[in-house]
Amino acid sequence: MVRTTARTLVLIVGLLLGAATQALAVSPPPNDNRDSAQPLGALPAAATGTTVGATVETNEPPSGCAQTAGSVWYSMSFGSSPPGEVGVKVQANGDLDAAVDVFQRQRSQNIPVDCARTDQNGFAGSTFQPSANATYLIRIAQRANSTSSTFSLKVFVVPPPPSAPGPALPARGGHGVLDSTFDTQDAYSLQLQAGTTYKFNLVKTNDGCMRLGIFPPGTSSFGGSAVAGLRCAGYRLFTPTVSGLWSFLVSAAQRIDGSQPYWLHIAPATSLEMAPGIFLPNFAHYTAKLQGNIDTDVRLFRFDVTTFSDLTLFLQAASAASFDLKLLNDQGKYLQCNCGSEGEETIRRQMRPGRYFVVVQAENFESGPFTLYRESRTITHVQISFDGSGYEQISPGASTRVTATVSPAVDGPVTFELQYFDPVEGWQFRGNYRAEAVNGVAVLPLPAPEVGRWRASVVYNGTHSAAPATSGWANLLVAGPLTQ
């Protein structure tokens, strides 16, 4: 009986403790209601909170961007000189999906000002322009289908947009961190000389299209249109038409979560990056280094083709290096672009006589060494004949000559192949004979071949500067007159 009573008491105590723990777990936060909103004080302000146990008031205003459940409230007041713009950042923890609403309090009314929902990373950002002598409420509510959890809140004064012409661009480039909600633009200025070409490189690490606007001297506001720029970061050349203090506006990519660091580099371009470019002799190797994360993003090469040729361009780089290899004619038309891959790149194609350019460019702001090799070999054709004819008939005991004619008229080794026809077994190999073409002609004497049918072909073996070629067949009949 004593044991039963003890067990009963233990069970009762356990149930009471469990109920008390559960009651404590679901107790609403102290700022669960609007009337008990937590004051934030002077800006910048930060707070942590939770929606665990939060409730919904009977007359709670709806959210402007989501269906919501339990919520908590924060308040702030501004005097006669409020800041121009205020930013609100919320970072939800755990699996909390939240809606952040800003209301302006007018007597018993709550006027909606702005609303934002947390993204896939739990982040939400909002801005508003406060009125003088006004009170604002910030409500953080978990969405109707979300779990409860904690969060952090930051409220701060949004820096004003940059004004022209902007601070001087440092010699080593400008660096900053933007975002798509609060700090969206930075400005710089630099003295540029008319007629001097400059290279611009806007380097970023995040996704999205960060933009660069280039504004002429005398710009007093960035509200107008830029005369040039970059639509999606990267590299370009620009030549100003007037000298003076030019301005440059860097704008964050839109609808991109989190911070957006960038680097802006501007420097005078040289013949390494612009026409006429680096002359690349035939069979030459050129080694250099690209620094796409600074301002050495491009190398420009030029070369000439004097005869119809087989061209090989070989780019050697590290296996992980993202370098593009581009071939253009002298009118700027792209003939081939090996772009978007990594490591070694090769371009092989037939080229007509003319002037051409090659571009090696770092993609994704890559850096590293490379070697570019060029090989142009004249395309040749070779013909075979017996005494100048593709078909020849001679008498038994007579001699003839097999002639190889190479065009264009280049020197180099050739190899003749001679075959004899057997009426039962067909063509039979008789031998290979080597000779040297001089001014495009090589001759193989054939003194008194046997009676019968013969044929010959030739291979021009090629040289360092001339490509190989193979002929068809020339035929020879060694026979006397028909007799009975």
- The answer on 151 and 42 residing in a single domain is yes
Within this chain, do residues 263 and 325 fall inside the same structural domain, yes or no? no
Whether residues 152 and 45 share a domain: the answer is yes
Q: Are residues 341 and 401 in the same domain?
A: no
Give the span between the Cα atoms of 58 and 63, in whole angstroms: 14
Q: Going by DSSP bridges, is the β-strand pair 38-39/68-78 parallel, antiparallel, or unpaired?
A: parallel
Statement to judge: residues 131 and 185 lie in one domain: no
Q: How far apart are CA 371 and CA 355, in angstroms?
A: 21
- Looking at the DSSP bridge assignments, the partners of residue 260 are 178
Are 190 and 218 found together in one domain? yes
Of 101, 127, 157, which one is at a domain's C-terminal end?
A: 157
Q: Are residues 412 and 473 in the same domain?
A: yes
pTM, two decimals, is 0.73
Rg (CA), the chain: 41
What is the tally of structural domains in the chain? Answer: 4
In a domain, 181, yes or no: yes
Instruction: At 150, list the tokens.
Output: 């904690």
Please name every residue paired with 39 in a beta bridge, in sequence order, or none if there are none.
75
Which amino acid would we find at residue 263? Answer: W
Q: Which residue, chain included where needed, has tokens 């665990």?
A: 52
Q: Are 293 and 367 within 8 A, CB to CB?
A: yes
Domain hosting 179: range is 174-268
Greatest pairwise CA separation for the chain in angstroms: 143
448: left (phi over 0), alpha (psi -120 to 50) or beta: left
Residues 250 and 321 in one domain: no
Q: Is residue 192 part of a domain?
A: yes
- Taking the C-alpha atoms of residue 216 and residue 428, their distance in angstroms, rounded to an integer, is 81
User: Kind and range of the H or E element at 109?
Assistant: strand 109-117
The closest of 204, 249, 252 to 228, measured between CA atoms, is 249
Three-state secondary structure call for residue 345:
strand
Q: Tell me the C-alpha distance between 142 and 150, whole Å.
A: 10
pLDDT by position in tens, the chain (length 484): 444 455 555 455 454 444 444 444 579 999 999 999 999 999 999 999 999 999 999 999 999 999 999 999 999 999 999 999 999 999 999 999 999 999 999 988 999 999 999 998 899 988 999 999 999 999 999 999 999 999 999 999 998 889 999 999 999 999 999 988 888 999 999 999 999 999 999 999 888 899 999 999 999 999 889 999 999 999 999 999 999 999 999 999 987 777 899 999 999 999 999 999 999 999 999 999 999 999 899 999 999 999 999 999 999 999 889 999 999 999 999 999 999 889 999 999 999 999 999 999 999 899 999 999 999 999 999 999 999 999 999 999 999 999 999 999 999 999 999 999 999 999 999 999 999 999 999 999 999 999 999 999 999 999 999 999 999 999 999 999 888 7
